[in-house]
């Protein structure tokens, strides 16, 4: 390979033809850049240390391994944005290889070189040049697509207009972020292009040196550029001058880029990795426990936030995926998960990044600059769409719930919520009904439902508030009872001793009441004799499954849809009738996205013979009906679009739709209102999955309490 050359001569002399003063000047600037970089890193560490220590990075090695896998696979970035994910992977791996390449040169020249140890020559040097050339192509390709995406695709989620501020507010304008994005893209692409030009000018300059010219094609892009320069009339002397100018421009720009990493968007390279490493896989399902006996509860001050959440807000890349997924934002409410995170970031940078902290507490809620307004926090549906889609592991939902706790303690909440919480405290349900009315629906059955408090049962049915008291949901409850009875399931309920499981109580921020309910419910269930629990309510399902174990209540629990799928598959529930409906299915947030329960309902529908057409947003990308997080207890302002109306309009896009199938009492309530509100009441109807199973089993005609509604759902069916 090197017949006429010593392999050690096949290399690049880094400071070739540089006078000493230039070399010294470069190192002075380089050390200054590193100093500015390290100071910026320290300011962030100091900021994080001013939060509450969380221990979120333990156990260290398993979390590190999971983070590395996520980063290298780019799986979170590719989700629902494959083109962006692929182009980002080009950018990422191109940048990473070029960074490793630069570090390799530093190792050879500045660390090992003074000891006479060198390895950057011969085969290694040639392979290095090829890899760096290809890495540059990947980097430029990724950057060009990102530019195209921002400028020509003009995606709405990349518009930083704030829904939580008015144009006259001092913190309304976020055009600085847009300028920062473009500065980041142009700086990196300029560094990459000037790198190729520098390489090409060196090839032209040293074309008479065989140790350079004979191996030129090991750097194919730089060599092709060199031929272009020669074709344009550039000779060795001109190339030498151009090379010197480019060397300084390229080098100074690269050092400037490095020095500004902690102060700009570029820091997400590190903060995103920290955020992913600290991510709690249960953040969608389980809210943080609080000491209800403590002096304060929740997050009212910036210093109440843990170091993990402070890393979270710094990790945000402003990609807008949470902004786009948020049902409150889509309906016109003053909430964007992205803007909430950015406000916290800006507030932390303004107050915690300096050597000395401001005097007095740093309040996060209010009308001041970069403060979070209460109406923003109360707009949240706690559907976890933001947590689910965030590519860098930001946990918006637990932060919002913590802020709600503080607002609740301070009395900054809707009076309607106060009346609901009082009702819950008094009667154990959110509808203000007497406890004695809870089992009243059982009187419409022609068989007795066992009392699980006094006799053993195989299955304890935790019915839930809406399924017990709401007249429309009661029909579904009766239908499920008939199905269980027909299947020979030994089941019982808790009658008037059942209380709300507390999912929405916890998510509105009333942690004390939630813990009281959880402890009472667990004590009651532990006094009963049963093997497993079933519920038709995804909110109840989530809390008993994911939050009760923390309080000593660990149970085997199924959602009704999973139980029905199993019973049908096992042949316990016969379905002799094939329904010929054209249906679509709405995934409840707490069942589908939050608990991965997307397939059993679809498998049931497949067994029923219906023609299932998926909604545009389904499964973990389902669009919330708007009921969660206690919002079902609060009135929507008349000027706002309800999330359920947006969802109903999405269903109306399906031609020939007969039934919008839901699988949650709250979704049933909201979606029926949504269908009416969009004028689609006569086009298709809303039915619970359980009602379709009942119909296929031939039980609907034997249910007098369904009245006219039962007749209205007469199937087009074949035996």
* Residue 204 in domain: yes
* Residue 589 in domain: yes
Predicted confidence (pLDDT) per residue in 248-271, tens digit: 999 999 999 999 999 999 999 999
* Residue 61 in domain: no
Among residues 380, 415, 450, the one where a domain terminates is 415
Interatomic CA distance for residues 274 and 641, integer angstroms: 37
* Residue 192 in domain: yes
pLDDT at 712 over 90: no
pLDDT at 652: 97
Interatomic CA distance for residues 357 and 346, integer angstroms: 15
Concatenating the DSSP letter of every residue in 619-656 gives GGGPPP-S-TTTGGGSPPPTTSPPHHHHHHHHHHTSTT
pLDDT at 2 over 80: no
Interatomic CA distance for residues 407 and 411, integer angstroms: 6
The mean per-residue pLDDT over the stretch 610-624 comes to 97
Q: What is the mean pLDDT of the chain?
A: 94
Residue 387 shares a structural domain with residue 482: no
Residue 401 shares a structural domain with residue 427: no
**If DSSP codes are grouped into helix, strand and coil, which group holds residue 6?**
coil
Looking only at the bridges linking them, the beta strands covering 685-688 and 659-662 are parallel
Among residues 366, 390, 415, the one where a domain terminates is 415
Q: Which residues contact 565 (CB under 8 A, 6 or more apart)?
A: 600, 601, 603, 604, 607
Q: Are 457 and 492 in contact (CB under 8 A)?
A: yes
* Residue 244 in domain: yes
Interatomic CA distance for residues 316 and 660, integer angstroms: 36
154 Ramachandran zone, left/alpha/beta (phi>0; psi -120 to 50):
left
341 phi/psi in degrees, rounded to 5? -65, -45
* Residue 294 in domain: no
pLDDT at 708 over 90: no
Interatomic CA distance for residues 625 and 704, integer angstroms: 30
Interatomic CA distance for residues 195 and 97, integer angstroms: 14
Q: Are 315 and 76 in contact (CB under 8 A)?
A: no
Q: CB-hemisphere CA count at 13 Å for 101?
A: 20
Residue 406 shares a structural domain with residue 426: no
pLDDT at 719 over 60: no
Residue 137 shares a structural domain with residue 207: yes
Among residues 263, 296, 321, the one where a domain terminates is 263
- What are the CB-based long-range contacts (under 8 Å, 24+) for 74-77? 76/276, 76/390, 76/391, 76/392, 76/393, 77/391
pLDDT-derived band at 3, boundaries 50, 70, 90? low
pLDDT at 407 over 90: yes
Prediction pTM value = 0.93
Give residue 386's domain range: 305-415
Residue 166 shares a structural domain with residue 130: yes
Residue 430 shares a structural domain with residue 546: yes
Q: Is 431 exposed, middle or buried (0-12, 13-18, 19+ CB in 10 A)?
A: middle
Residue 12 shares a structural domain with residue 87: yes
* Residue 108 in domain: yes
Residue 19 shares a structural domain with residue 146: yes
Q: Are 273 and 17 in contact (CB under 8 A)?
A: no
Predicted confidence (pLDDT) per residue in 172-218, tens digit: 999 999 999 999 999 999 999 999 999 999 999 999 999 999 999 99
Residue 672 shares a structural domain with residue 711: yes
* Residue 579 in domain: yes
Residue 254 shares a structural domain with residue 388: no
Residue 365 shares a structural domain with residue 456: no
Looking only at the bridges linking them, the beta strands covering 578-579 and 717-718 are antiparallel
Q: What is the CATH number of the domain that holds 384?
A: 1.10.1060.10
pLDDT-derived band at 706, boundaries 50, 70, 90? very low
Predicted confidence (pLDDT) per residue in 118-176, tens digit: 999 999 999 999 999 999 999 999 999 999 999 999 899 999 999 999 999 999 999 99
Q: Are 340 and 374 in contact (CB under 8 A)?
A: no
In the numeric block, the tokens 């009942």 are attached to: 694
Residue 509 shares a structural domain with residue 432: yes
pLDDT at 637: 87
Specify the number of domains making up the chain. 3
The mean per-residue pLDDT over the stretch 217-227 comes to 96
- Dmax (CA) of the chain: 101
């Amino acid at each position: 390979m090197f017949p006429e050359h010593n392999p050690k001569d096949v290399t690049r002399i880094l400071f070739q033809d540089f006078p000493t003063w230039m070399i010294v000047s470069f190192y002075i600037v380089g050390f200054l850049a590193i100093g500015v970089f390290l100071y910026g890193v320290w300011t962030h560490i100091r900021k994080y240390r001013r939060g509450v220590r969380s221990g979120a990075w333990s156990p260290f090695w398993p979390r590190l391994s999971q983070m590395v896998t996520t980063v290298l696979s780019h799986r979170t970035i590719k989700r629902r944005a494959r083109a962006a994910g692929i182009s980002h992977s080009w950018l990422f791996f191109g940048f990473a290889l070029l960074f490793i390449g630069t570090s390799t040169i530093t190792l050879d020249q500045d660390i090992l070189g003074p000891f006479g140890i060198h390895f950057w020559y011969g085969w290694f040097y040639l392979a290095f040049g090829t890899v760096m050339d290809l890495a540059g192509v990947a980097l430029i390709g990724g950057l060009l697509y990102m530019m195209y995406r921002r400028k020509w695709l003009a995606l709405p989620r990349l518009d930083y207009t704030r829904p939580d501020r008015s144009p006259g507010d001092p913190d309304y304008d976020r055009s600085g972020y847009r300028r920062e994005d473009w500065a980041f893209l142009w700086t990196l692409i300029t560094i990459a292009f000037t790198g190729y030009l520098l390489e090409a000018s060196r090839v032209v300059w040293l074309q008479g040196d065989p140790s350079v010219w004979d191996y030129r094609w090991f750097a194919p892009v730089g060599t092709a550029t060199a031929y272009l320069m020669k074709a344009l009339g550039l000779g060795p002397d001109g190339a030498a001058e151009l090379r010197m100018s480019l060397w300084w421009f390229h080098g100074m720009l690269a050092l400037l880029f490095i020095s500004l990493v902690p102060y700009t968007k570029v820091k997400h390279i590190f903060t995103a990795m920290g955020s992913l490493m600290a991510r709690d896989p249960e953040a969608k399902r389980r809210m943080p426990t609080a000491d209800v006996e403590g002096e304060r509860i929740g997050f009212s001050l910036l210093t109440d936030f843990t170091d993990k959440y402070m890393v979270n807000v710094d990790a945000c890349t402003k990609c807008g995926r949470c902004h786009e997924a948020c049902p409150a934002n889509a309906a016109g409410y003053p909430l964007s998960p992205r803007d909430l995170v950015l406000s916290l970031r800006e507030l932390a940078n303004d107050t915690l990044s300096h050597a000395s902290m401001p005097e007095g507490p740093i309040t996060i809620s209010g009308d001041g600059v970069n403060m979070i307004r209460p109406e923003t926090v109360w707009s949240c549906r706690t559907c976890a769409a933001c947590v689910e889609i965030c590519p860098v592991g930001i946990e918006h939902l637990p932060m919002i719930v913590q802020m709600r706790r503080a607002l609740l303690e301070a009395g900054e909440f809707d009076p309607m919520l106060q009346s609901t919480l009082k009702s819950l405290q008094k009667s154990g349900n959110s509808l203000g009904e007497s406890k004695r009315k809870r089992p009243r629906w059982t009187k419409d059955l022609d068989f007795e439902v066992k009392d699980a408090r006094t006799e053993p049962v195989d299955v304890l049915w935790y019915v839930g508030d809406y399924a017990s008291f709401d007249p429309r949901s009661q029909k579904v409850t009766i239908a499920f009872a008939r199905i269980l009875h027909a299947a020979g399931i030994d089941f019982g309920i808790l009658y008037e001793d059942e209380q709300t499981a507390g999912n929405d109580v916890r998510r509105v921020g009333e942690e004390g009441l939630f813990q009281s309910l959880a402890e009472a419910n667990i004590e009651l269930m532990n006094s009963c004799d049963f093997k497993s629990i079933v519920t038709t309510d995804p909110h109840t399902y989530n809390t008993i499954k994911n939050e009760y174990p923390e309080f000593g209540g660990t149970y085997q629990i199924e959602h009704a849809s999973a139980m029905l799928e199993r019973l049908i598959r096992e042949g316990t529930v016969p379905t002799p009738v094939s329904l010929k409906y054209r249906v679509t299915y709405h995934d409840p947030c707490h069942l589908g996205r939050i608990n991965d329960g997307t397939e059993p309902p679809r498998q049931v529908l497949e067994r029923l013979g219906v023609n299932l057409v998926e909604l545009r947003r389904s499964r973990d990308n389902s669009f919330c009906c708007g009921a969660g997080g206690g919002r079902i207890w609060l009135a929507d302002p008349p000027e706002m679009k309800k999330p359920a109306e947006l969802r109903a309009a999405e269903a109306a896009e399906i031609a020939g739709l007969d039934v919008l199938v839901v699988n949650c009492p709250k979704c049933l309530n909201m979606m029926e209102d949504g269908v009416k509100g969009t004028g689609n009441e006569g086009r298709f109807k809303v039915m619970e999955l359980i009602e379709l199973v009942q119909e296929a089993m031939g039980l609907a005609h034997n249910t007098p309490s369904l009245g006219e509604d039962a007749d209205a759902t007469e199937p087009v069916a074949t035996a």
